[in-house]
A and B are shown apart, each in its own frame.
Chain A
Amino acid sequence: MTTSIELRADPAVQYLLRLGDACLILGQRLGEWCGHAPIVEEDIALANIALDLIGQARAVLTRAGQLEGRGHDEDQLAFLRDERDYLNPTLVELPRGDFAFTTLRNAMVATWLKLLWQRLQASGDAELAAIAGKAVKEARYHQQHAADWLVRLGDGTAESKRRCEAALAALWHYGAELFDDDAVDDAAAAAGLGPRSSELRDEWQAEMGEILGAAGLAMPAPVPFRSEGRRGRHSEHMGYILAELQHLQRAYPGGVW
């Protein structure tokens, strides 16, 4: 059984892991749709988004490993950390739910990632800026796909609207975590690595407001709930994702794939 790797506690690394892990875990959830989407055209569309996210995860995790300086590559980071060292927001680890749930989550995350990638193009870290230059195009496409679908579902049938409202009730308050600042943000801003989380809040609210408005859906009022995935304190779902994700690497020590 392969044991977990130990991470060097470094705010720059953590900043990148928050981003890379978000892409990794959402990509993992979207991969679950393959073969089960409402129509084969959407199997292909969702797989495309998953592929883009996995690609972004690979690039960001590789860079995180370089900054950490302990020789950890993208796979060691993706497959061999302890749960508490994964720093994705809780939002992305929730089960995929129905198509309304997945679509709403895609809209929330793609909008956030688009805004983040846009700013990261100006990162002081040249590698990260280059990754962002490519990723922002993908995020724009993902946002368009999700927003278009949310409008169809929000303003489709009574049932699709009901499911969108249920998705909003279940998902919306997991978004707040994305925009809270802490010491990791302070360090990133000071180092010119990337924006503070809070800098994206207003634009995200505005864009999500437009999307929900076009879909005829009401934005839920804020509640004093905070998920804590970005601090390594996940929901009960994270353990199951990691059990699947990590199984082969753990079960075949020294395996070459």
Chain B
Amino acid sequence: MYTQAMDTLGKEGGDAAPRPVRSAAEAALQQRFDARIDDGGFIEAKDWMPDNYRKTLVRQISQHAHSEIVGMLPEGNWITRAPTLKRKAILLAKVQDEGGHGLYLYAAAETLGTSRDEMIDALHSGKAKYSSIFNYPTLTWADVGTIGWLVDGAAIMNQVPLCRCSYAPYARAMIRICREESFHQRQGFDALLVMMRDGSDAQRAMVQDAVNRWWWPSLMMFGPPDAESTHSTQSMRWGIKRISNDDLRQKFVDAAAEQAKVLGVTLPDPELKWNEARGHHDFGAIDWAEFWNVVDGNGPCNRERLADRVKAWDDGAWVREAALAHADKQRQPMKEAA
């Protein structure tokens, strides 16, 4: 769902640089690999691939999966307080989808040789990241609709190109995800539209307040500007990343500006305006200090989000153990010592 993580690998950077080739056989494999990528072909799980291609993908796919799972929390926060039964059902279905997406992605990552437990451990220990958009709190019901409109909207823009990613299990997971994702954006927009069009003044104020808080973090979802995006080049070379951060961000702003007009909300950017010559909307400067601050762990909810996930995992340990123990007993019925 969220691929901003690719540019914030930071700590284990240098993965993008290819290691020196060891043998003629490996050089031949590398050549065939490169040719297949250049040809627009796919790499499957058991195909030979360079080590750093594999490592980059494991990190990107697993962090994408973590984002889905952590993303269940801000919206899950409103399930018990949804204002109608229809909205409650829709929100439950959406959050359930996020869990499902996380699962498809963990499955895709496991084809590369990592395990679910390893990936979860990396998340919980802070080694692996997730999209920093989820480190913001959902303070009102309108936040839920706004996340659907803007955050899922941004995610869709990031994700559609990934459906053609060179690593086929990831591409297939993305196709499945994209099919389900459009419901997410539409339900969010619908929830906001109803409040703006038919709701009370208080509801309209709630929507505008939510938009004011989520707009800029949504723009940050596309990652740092291209000029500062160190890993993008290699990822593009490998057919993992297809469109640049800035291009995606511009596409998103253009779409959202029109959607905002339909809603009747004002986007909190006084510099946002249509530029006829460029054929795009100009927009104001993003506060990258805020972005890096949140990525580094000091956003509004970073610690709480991770603590929630760690708690769920730790509290569930006895359950997972019990299920395994029971399965073992079925395979080998043995009398346990008293």
Contact = CB atoms under 8 A, between A and B. Distances in A.
Contact of A35 (B85, B308, B321): B308
A98 B312 contact: no
A40 B69 contact: yes
Interface stretch (A85-93, A125-133, A243-251): A243-251
Interface residues of A, number: 51
B83 A248 contact: yes
Contacts of B326: 151-153, 155-156
Contact of A39 (B316, B325, B327): B316
Contact of A157 (B69, B79, B191, B325): B325
Interface stretch (A50-58, A112-120, A201-209, A221-229): A50-58
B165 to A, nearest CB: 22
A156 B199 contact: no
Contact of A40 (B103, B199, B203): B103
Contacts of B99: 34-35, 40, 43-44, 47
Interface string A140-154: 000000000001110
A37 B312 contact: yes
B73 interface: yes
B80 A32 contact: yes
A204 B103 CA distance: 36
A148 B83 CA distance: 34
Given A98-B315, A255-B200, A48 B84 contact: no
Contacts of B73: 35
Contact of A54 (B83, B88, B200, B203): B88
Tell me if A's interface is mostly helix, strand, loop or mixed.
Answer: helix
A18 B96 CA distance: 28
Contacts of B198: 256
Interface string B54-85: 00000000000000010011001001111111
Contacts of A252: 83, 200, 202-203
Given A28-B80, A47-B92, A47-B95, A38 B200 contact: no
Interface string B34-67: 0000000000000000000000000000000000
Interface in A10-41: 24, 28, 31-32, 34-41
Contacts of A99: 316, 319
A51 B92 contact: yes
Residue from A42, A79, A249, A256 whose CB has the most chain B CB atoms within 10 Å = A256
Contacts of B203: 252, 255-256
Interface in B126-141: 141
Contacts of B316: 37-39, 99
B85 A153 contact: no
B76 A35 contact: yes
A199 interface: no
Contact of B195 (A51, A54, A55, A257): A257
A47 B76 CA distance: 11
Nearest to A30: B92
Given A252-B203, A254-B200, A245 B325 contact: no
Nearest to B318: A159
A8 B93 CA distance: 34
B77 to A, nearest CB: 9
B320 A48 contact: no
B318 A163 contact: yes
Interface in B309-338: 311-313, 315-323, 325-327, 329
14 contacts: A24-B85, A31-B92, A38-B312, A40-B102, A40-B106, A43-B72, A51-B96, A58-B89, A75-B85, A78-B85, A79-B83, A159-B318, A245-B81, A248-B83
Given A31-B92, A47-B95, A248-B81, 17 more contacts: A31-B80, A35-B69, A35-B72, A35-B99, A38-B320, A40-B106, A44-B103, A47-B92, A54-B89, A153-B319, A153-B326, A155-B329, A159-B321, A160-B318, A249-B84, A255-B199, A256-B194
Counting from the closest, the 10 A-B pairs by CB-CB distance are A38-B316, A156-B322, A160-B322, A47-B96, A38-B319, A248-B83, A35-B72, A35-B76, A152-B326, A256-B198
